[in-house]
Structure 1
Amino acid sequence: MSAELTIVIPAKNEAKMLPRLLKSLARQDYEGMAETRVIVADAGSTDGTVEVALSFRDRLRVEVIEGGLPSVGRNAGARLATTPYLLFLDADVELAEPTLLRRALWRMRRRKLHLVTTNIACREGNFFDDLLYAGNNFMQYVGSFLKPFATGMFMLFDREVFWALGGFNEYALFAEDYLLSKGVARARFKIVHGKIFTTNRRFRKLGHGRMVWMFFKTMLHSWNDGYFLRDQGYWEEESI
């Protein structure tokens, strides 16, 4: 079959986490996986991330390009794509089920959707980590009826719609994924059954209370695009 999907992964100093993601992609039962380009947009890693990514070329069509902040890296990868669909993944996630990609694409095709996401879980988190990710999943569900909400951890886009929306705003300094996803028509947004695993490092870095407060402020400013162009402190000492 001809390629229908391009995967874009922004990364910086993800040599430890990236193998989990790439292994989970190699395990997918999606029949087009062998033809799917996996573009790692590297933002100047110094820990061997590039070498780790390229070591998977015997299992995946991995290539590395120059990246930057996530919006910059995602857009750079998307510009190289010619396929109908784009999948944006964070470098520190892992697809929990080998059927997830196949099922998500099937839903996209059948329902002619513009954006598909899935639920998030924390593999090694504590009670509070699990609680906050459950809250995120609930808000995504609510958003499917009001204003679509998807995170950059897993965003499967129709490529033409992605560019019609302008791609990721490269001037956004906070929640650039939400800023883009809220422009999707509600009827063209779905949450596919399943989940991806991520880490609790965001909570370790900023604390649970601060993360909840940032999420709450995001909801309050959902109609104020200028809010997302101001530094909210999310990228302080972050790997990317």
Structure 2
Amino acid sequence: MKYSIIIPTLNEEKLLPNLLNQLKQVKESGEFEIEIVISDGGSIDGTLLLAVNRADKIIGREINTKNSISSGRNNGARVSSGEILVFVNADILFEDIFRFFRFLDESFRDSENIAMTTKVKIFPEEEILTDKIFHGFYNYYFFLLNKLSYGMGRGECQVVKREFFEMVNGYNPELIAGEDFDLFKRLKRKGKILFELSLTVYESPRRFRKYGYSAITLEWLKNALAIIVRNRSISKVWEQVR
């Protein structure tokens, strides 16, 4: 199987190289067939310069389109060629990237699984007690949601079979926030979604440090309810934190 790693970017020169270095190791190993797709939303720092020799494809934002992470992911998917789409944020790192892809090989080849997500934690060197409590709770809460009627997975890492991604028309480009929940909610109606507790991706704590967990939890809740009830997000702007 071929994997397309789709990374939406916007001024990510600080953290993107770490992820690209992990993906480079996978490509050089020859164990898996992967392509790296950078979908940029208009970076004005060195993001594109550092990506030009490391990504297989780079696509920019379309003129006269809403600049959202949903559109960025959709644009990346459109130019990709893999059977399995792996959407990750630019600030993440895999706990064990080879184990991640080996698990995908086992779980998506000739199986009924159509999508997958993983646990998300804060970078170990930056993690504090509040991070452990918050992410520990939400990882298991989202795991339970996938076992029940709702699909759920944070956009830090969402894996989808291409045919099903296209079947549901990808991410909703009108959503500024909650697009990850909305996608998995629609995919859940089409087949089985895995929430794999044995796999972890780490993320930067930058947004949590700036806004705090209470404000972010409230924002998540409002957007989730708005998507369920009215099929739209409450947030009108998603401020970048770098």
Q: Do they fold alike, i.e. is TM over 0.5? A: yes
Does residue 156 (structure 1) correspond to residue 155 (structure 2)? The answer is no
Asked if 2 retains the 8 angstrom alpha-carbon contact of 1:87 and 1:157, the reply is: yes
TM-score (norm 1): 0.87
Most deviating of 67-76 and 15-24: 67-76
Question: 1:48 aligns to what?
Answer: 46
Match of 1:14 among 6, 12, 15: 12
Asked if 2 retains the 8 angstrom alpha-carbon contact of 1:114 and 1:158, the reply is: yes
State the Cα RMSD in Å.
Answer: 2.1
Question: 1:182 aligns to what?
Answer: 185
Asked if 2 retains the 8 angstrom alpha-carbon contact of 1:28 and 1:100, the reply is: no
Question: 2:64 aligns to what?
Answer: none
1:132-166 Cα deviation digits (max 9, x unpaired): 11122112211111211011111110101001111
Question: 2:122 aligns to what?
Answer: 122
Alignment of 1:1-240 (within 5 A): 4-28=2-26, 31=30, 33=32, 35-56=33-54, 61-67=55-61, 68-97=67-96, 98-123=98-123, 124-146=126-148, 147-185=150-188, 188-192=192-196, 193-221=198-226, 223-228=228-233, 230-231=234-235, 235-238=238-241
Q: Structure 2 unaligned runs (5+)?
A: 62-66
Asked if 2 retains the 8 angstrom alpha-carbon contact of 1:25 and 1:95, the reply is: no
Structure 1 pair 110–31 and aligned structure 2 pair: CA distance change class (3 A) = farther
Q: Structure 1 unaligned runs (5+)?
A: none
Q: Whole-Å Cα distance in 2 between the matches of residues 221 and 170 of structure 1?
A: 15
Helix, strand or coil: the match of 1:52? helix
Most deviating of 157-166 and 77-86: 77-86
Structure 1 position 225, deviation (Å): 4.2
Asked if 2 retains the 8 angstrom alpha-carbon contact of 1:53 and 1:62, the reply is: no
Structure 1 position 184, deviation (Å): 1.9
Asked if 2 retains the 8 angstrom alpha-carbon contact of 1:24 and 1:96, the reply is: no
TM-score (norm 2): 0.86
Aligned residues: 230
Q: Whole-Å Cα distance in 2 between the matches of residues 170 and 16 of structure 1?
A: 26
1:192-239 Cα deviation digits (max 9, x unpaired): 2210010111212221110122233345445224342x3265x13546
Structure 1 position 85, deviation (Å): 1.1
Which portions of structure 1, spanning 4 or more consecutive aligned residues, are displaced by more than 6 angstroms?
Answer: none
Helix, strand or coil: the match of 2:231? helix
Structure 1 pair 183–195 and aligned structure 2 pair: CA distance change class (3 A) = same
Q: Whole-Å Cα distance in 1 between the matches of residues 39 and 154 of structure 2?
A: 18
1:36-66 Cα deviation digits (max 9, x unpaired): 221101111111001111243xxxx532110
Helix, strand or coil: the match of 1:23? helix
Structure 1 position 110, deviation (Å): 4.5
Give the residue type in structure 2 aligned to 1:191: F
How many percent of aligned residue pairs carry the same amino acid?
Answer: 26
